[in-house]
Chain A
Amino acid sequence: MRDLLLIGLFPVLLFYAIKRPFIGLALWLWTSLVPMQTWAFSFATSIRWNLVFALATIFGYLIMKDKPKVSFNGVFILVTFLLFFATLSSFFHQGFDPLVWQGYERFFKAYLFFVFVYLIVDKKMHVEALMWACVLSITATAAKQGFKVLFSGGGHVVYGMSSTFNDNNLSAFATLVCIPLTLILISFYKQKFLVKVALFGAIAISILFVLGSDSRGGFLGLIVLAFFYFINSKNKVPILFGGVVVGAIGISLMDASWFERMNSIADAGEDSSFMGRVTAWKLSVLMAIKSPIWGGGFDAIAFRPTWESLLPYWNMLSFIPTPYPSKGHVAHSIYFQVLGDLGFIAFFIFFAAVLSSYNKFARFSKDKSAPEWIITVSMFCKIAIICFLVAGAALSVAYNEIVLMLMAVAAKIQIIHARHLQQKMEQPPLEKDKFDHARSEQKGSKHRRAKGFPNL
């Protein structure tokens, strides 16, 4: 039944993706964050939805009549440099060949999406479509499990939501980053009561999902998100009240093991799971020291010969006491992931791009001359980047579509804002021109009258 519905929808969605490339872009993101295999299980999954929507968007863009004017700015150039380093790093890699190229393919797809967001997004509606794509993929999938957490009284064990976010920690991370994006939609739909209520409900369920995921990084990210949302909001009292109610319901559903797990954040030094991460971080640093320019390639430290080749240098970082590694690791941190995978230069490029995007959002969120929607988008995207930097500190999620989308939106908002200012600046001279022209016309008519010509 589900498959029939999806197959029925397919031509309609494809039509809109080609007709309006910004819708194609949203569908591209929608199918990329949570693949169709999550929604249906039979013949509908034989279609490569993501590939089809990506191709339809690119085709739609190529045949589009009034393409937005493109000027390349710092963020775009930085991310392109990052692709350059990722490409060379993959050619000179020291990891497991299929794993490295799989990581490169994932990164390249995310970069391609970044480029088309940069080329196509040009106004509020386009940004809104991308936010809807996040909500209808990540938040909707989180809601499925969030309700189960609620109805099972906290007993439901949260599992991964897609191949990109394939465990409880990664799912909690994705859900957390999508909460500020849902808040953007709420502020766009202030007048639509039902939509607003549904979106607030989705946020409440997302919070339950993050709490029920048992992810300590997710829990810390949630606290940081709540703090930054609270200090940036105008209506502090209702937000405080709502936050306390949802938080109290959520925490009352959690059992003793959840509290034990969250308390272990305080004494992380004795926690084996945390110490495993420190070992992975040390391996990533050693990888970067061994290969400072290109790094080891995507997920190189997961490959036995690679991490074994790093063991002779283990004592270089002996000031951080950890046991010797006994197996391969993934980086378990966005910072160490980029460092180990792509080297020191790419590390600085990546975080320069992230911080530049953050800086743009922070600037526009306080810019009174900017249109209201730019202020709103900037404020919440800024919080989303903070969530990425905090919750990602213990997860390998550096290269994903949401983060690259935020960077592209930051870059485009700068261009849209500059155009807005230019239009504002151009208006007074235009009025003046009109006035001068009218005066010259009057003079002309006087001249004509003086010469005896009739007035037209």
Chain B
Amino acid sequence: MIDNVIFLIVMVAVPVLCFLGSRADAAEQKEKTSKASLKMRRKPHLQTRNNR
């Protein structure tokens, strides 16, 4: 009984954690990419020109 319960907990936890980890990593990478592109867009000379 205990063995089965723990087996089920582990076998549910492993794929769920894989899914959540993968999603969080993808979100982090996306954020990193968007930050980098934002940084590019906010380059000082461009920013000054936009302000004008």
- Of the candidates A13, A143, A441, A442, which one forms a contact with B18 in the assembled complex, judged by CB atoms under 8 Å apart? A13
- Complex CA gap A30/B11 in Å reads 12
Q: Are B24 and A5 in contact (CB under 8 A)?
A: no
Using CB atoms and an 8 Å cutoff, list the residues of chain A in contact with chain B: 2, 5-6, 9, 12-13, 16, 19-20, 22-23, 26-27, 30, 39, 66, 123, 125, 128-129, 132, 136, 140, 143-144, 147-148, 151, 433-434, 437-438, 441-442, 445, 455-456
Chain B proximity of A335: nearest CB distance (Å): 34
**What's the tally of chain B residues with a CB closer than 8 Å to chain A?**
25
Task: Say whether B15 contacts A12, CB under 8 Å.
Answer: yes
B21 and A129 within 8 A (CB) = yes
The answer on a CB contact under 8 Å between A140 and B11 is no
A441-B14 contact in complex given A23-B21, A144-B6, A456-B52, C-beta closer than 8 Å: no
* Secondary structure type dominating chain B contacts: helix
Residues of B within 8 A of A6 (CB): 11
* Contact call A20/B14, Cβ cutoff below 8 A: no
Chain B 1-44 interface residues, beta-carbon cutoff 8 Å to A: 2-3, 6-7, 9-11, 13-15, 17-19, 21-22, 24-25, 28-29, 44
- Please tell me if the beta carbons of B25 and A125 are within 8 angstroms of each other in the complex: yes
Query: A19: which of B13, B22, B49 is its contact (CB, 8 Å)?
Result: B22
**When chains A and B are docked, how far (Å) is the Cα of A297 from the Cα of B28?**
46
Contact call B52/A5, Cβ cutoff below 8 A: no
Kindly state the separation between the CA atoms of A5 and B15 in the bound complex, as whole angstroms: 12
Q: Is A39 a contact of B18 with CB atoms below 8 Å?
A: no
9 A-B pairs besides A16-B19, A136-B14, A441-B45 with CB distance below 8 A are: A23-B21, A27-B18, A39-B10, A125-B25, A132-B17, A136-B13, A143-B6, A437-B48, A438-B47
Residues from chain A with Cβ under 8 Å of B47 in the complex: 438
The reply to whether B15 and A13 form a contact with Cβ atoms under 8 Å apart is: yes
Residue from B9, B15, B19 within 8 A of A140 (CB atoms)? B9
Whether the Cβ atoms of A2 and B17 lie closer than 8 Å is: no
| Other-chain contact of A2, B7, B48, B52 (Cβ < 8 Å) | B7
Q: Please give, as numbers and ranges, the residues of chain B lying within 8 Å of A12 by CB-CB distance.
A: 15, 18
**A39-B10, A437-B45, A438-B48 known; A144 and B15 CB under 8 Å?**
no
Give CA–CA (A147, B2) in the complex, Å: 7
How close is A456's CB to chain B, nearest CB, in angstroms? 6
> Which residues on A sit within 8 Å (CB–CB) of B19?
16
Bound CA span A13–B3, Å? 22
A140 touches B6 (CB 8 A): yes
Report A41 CB to chain B, min CB distance, Å. Answer: 11
Between A and B, 23 residue pairs with Cβ closer than 8 Å are A2-B7, A6-B11, A9-B14, A12-B15, A16-B15, A16-B22, A20-B18, A20-B25, A22-B21, A23-B18, A23-B22, A26-B21, A66-B29, A125-B21, A132-B13, A136-B14, A140-B6, A144-B3, A144-B6, A147-B2, A438-B48, A441-B49, A456-B49
Chain B residues whose C-beta falls within 8 Å of the C-beta of A9 in the assembled complex: 11, 14-15
B7–A455 contact, CB under 8 A?
no
- Using A13-B18, A23-B21 as known contacts, say yes or no to A434 and B6 having CB atoms under 8 A apart: no
Asked whether B2 lies within 8 Å of A144 as measured between CB atoms, the reply is yes
Question: Which residues of A are found within 8 Å of B22, using beta-carbon distances?
Answer: 16, 19-20, 23
CA–CA, A10 and B17, complex, Å: 15
Kindly list the 4 A-B residue pairs having the minimum CB-CB distance in the complex, ordered from nearest.
Answer: A437-B44, A16-B18, A441-B48, A147-B2
A148 with B7, Cβ < 8 A, contacts A136-B14, A438-B48 known: no
Chain B residues within an 8 Å CB radius of A442: 48
